[in-house]
Structure 1
Amino acid sequence: MNNSLHSFLSAIMICSSLLLASCGGSSSNNEGPPVPVKGIDINFPAGAEVPDNRYVDTYKILVFGNSHVHSHNLTGLLHDLIIAGRPEVKVQQTIANGSSYLDERLVKSTDLHLLQSGGWTHVILQGQKYSTTGLYTYPIDASIIWLRAAKARNATPILFPEHGQRGNTTEGSRVHSLHQSIVALEPGCVAPVGLAWDNLSQQDPQMVLHEADGNHAALAGSFLTALVFYQSITGNNAELLPFQPKVALPEPQQRLLRQVAAATLQHNPACPF
């Protein structure tokens, strides 16, 4: 079996055996050339510039993710924010089926076909494995291939590092750093979701960002994440968005969330443009 494919499958087995809620990281074999998976050519050009699709007339957004992309209708919030900030545009979003990690989606190949079948402007990629404890590392090969595949279709790829779990003050920044290490090897965008959550928690520790499970986003958390993606995708300042009456958060909370998203992106730009 090819070494890179073997590393993918080994990581899956490790995650299963440890029953980790989230897992991932980097490995020493991520600089090897991509290998065919189930007969699919994944030898996409390496090192291509990130396409700049901030100012298109129609946003066509493809989302790969797990349950986190469904929390409080995250994509619906994002749609409404884009329309509020740029009322002259159209927004089309597709959420890929399933909740697999990015390496598993690559092995199954159907998601790669989905990416290549549409004229997407943006591809959101959530599901790089990482260790919630920071004690384990996992290959980043698949994430690199997904970045290359999106750029080969002239889409802007945006990695989605997850926010930290409740009470874990280091997870968000650690997962963000992991995703930054990926785009250091293959250019892409990284939405600073975890950093925004950390900044908000410092400014207003009483605001509830997590659901009762301590993992998934409550409404305020999903709204903050959507604001980060809004500015990452459109280039518009999230702080300048109007109050969203359909979102069941009071105006002062929405204003603070907008301010935190914008400030986080000012210091941690998602994309290299």
Structure 2
Amino acid sequence: MSVRWMAICLLVTMITSCGGGKSNDEEAVMGAVESAPTNSVPDYILNAPDADIEILLIGNSHSALEDFPLIIKNLVEAGTNQTVNSFNTNDWSYLSERSRESGTTYDIVHSRNWTHVILQGQMYSTSGNNTFPTTAAEEWVALLRDLDIIPIMYPEHPRENNFEEGQRVYDLHHTIAQSSNACVAPIGPAWDIAAEWYPDLSLHNEDGNHFNRRGAVLSALVFYQVITEQPANELRFVEGLGVREQLQTDLKRVVTDAVALYPPCEYL
């Protein structure tokens, strides 16, 4: 991929997905952008003070937009009264494009005493007609477990008005978690429950693919409950998230119900 094309991809990803890995009859796989390795750990990760809970998101635009790592940090801090670091890697590659032996992501994983690493960027078929290997995700889980880090699979939320994708993508990541002994966040089921309970609630931004602030808070609340093991509906109102108190209450109820139906860490 040329530097020029990579720059174009980064610009348009805010509007729509960009990336490879599709078969002849396949739509573009959501969200990932191939990025050349920089072989350096970003200063914002390297120089951050140590925290009680250290969270790393290895993913793409679905892990970065709407200050998603910061929302997770604020929720976990509010619910635990502990210090929290929550960072996203600085490129948007698929998991299969990230080396488990060297390179930027490998260096970042080894740069801090992470307590939890969220893995997003597994290739999957948007149409459901094709399959992609899960070997890289399983190898990343194995690496994290060797480092005594809790691995959490991140199945992306469904696209707007798509009522089968969330469960299907969750099922794929649940299979990975089961085979490799990881946690899996029930993002798709939580979004499906929200769509059922609150059909007028908009969770996507204008591209119909990425989340808006409300959707980001919903997904972050799922990770809050997975990481803290505390029911989201018992979390107090958290200021500064850009979501009003009553809506936070509604979203917390959704998450607590989803996690009860889909236990996230049964294979650890």
Q: TM-score range by the shorter chain?
A: 0.7 to 0.9
The TM-score with structure 1 as length reference comes to 0.79
Specify whether residues 167 and 117 from structure 1 end up closer, same or farther in structure 2 by C-alpha distance, changes over 3 A only.
same
Specify whether residues 107 and 123 from structure 1 end up closer, same or farther in structure 2 by C-alpha distance, changes over 3 A only.
closer
In structure 2, how many angstroms separate the alpha carbons of the residues matched to 1:107 and 1:78? 26
Q: Does structure 2 retain, via aligned residues, the 8 Å contact 1:23–1:138?
A: no
Q: Does structure 1 retain, via aligned residues, the 8 Å contact 2:29–2:124?
A: no
Gaps of 5+ in 2: 1-18, 33-50
Equivalent positions of 1:1-273 (< 5 A) are 14-15=21-22, 20-22=28-30, 58-87=52-81, 89-106=82-99, 109-110=102-103, 111-272=105-266
In structure 2, how many angstroms separate the alpha carbons of the residues matched to 1:15 and 1:174? 17
Specify whether residues 118 and 249 from structure 1 end up closer, same or farther in structure 2 by C-alpha distance, changes over 3 A only.
closer
Instruction: Note the alpha carbon deviations across 1:233-265, whole angstroms, 9 max, x for none.
Output: 011111011112312222221111011011111
Specify whether residues 246 and 109 from structure 1 end up closer, same or farther in structure 2 by C-alpha distance, changes over 3 A only.
same
Q: Which contiguous aligned blocks of 4+ residues in structure 1 show a shift greater than 6 angstroms?
A: none
Q: Does structure 1 retain, via aligned residues, the 8 Å contact 2:54–2:113?
A: yes
C-alpha displacement of 1:13: 6.3
Aligned residues with identical type, % of pairs = 36
**Higher-RCO chain (CA-CA 8 Å, sequence separation at least 6):** 1
* Secondary structure of 2:188 counterpart: helix
Alignment length (residue pairs): 229
Question: Partner of 2:35 in structure 1?
Answer: none
The TM-score with structure 2 as length reference comes to 0.81
Q: Does structure 1 retain, via aligned residues, the 8 Å contact 2:31–2:61?
A: no
Aligned Cα root-mean-square deviation (Å)? 2.0
Gaps of 5+ in 1: 1-11, 25-56
Instruction: Note the alpha carbon deviations across 1:93-146, whole angstroms, 9 max, x for none.
Output: 232121000000127832123213321100100000001100110000000000
In structure 2, how many angstroms separate the alpha carbons of the residues matched to 1:155 and 1:63? 13
Specify whether residues 159 and 260 from structure 1 end up closer, same or farther in structure 2 by C-alpha distance, changes over 3 A only.
same
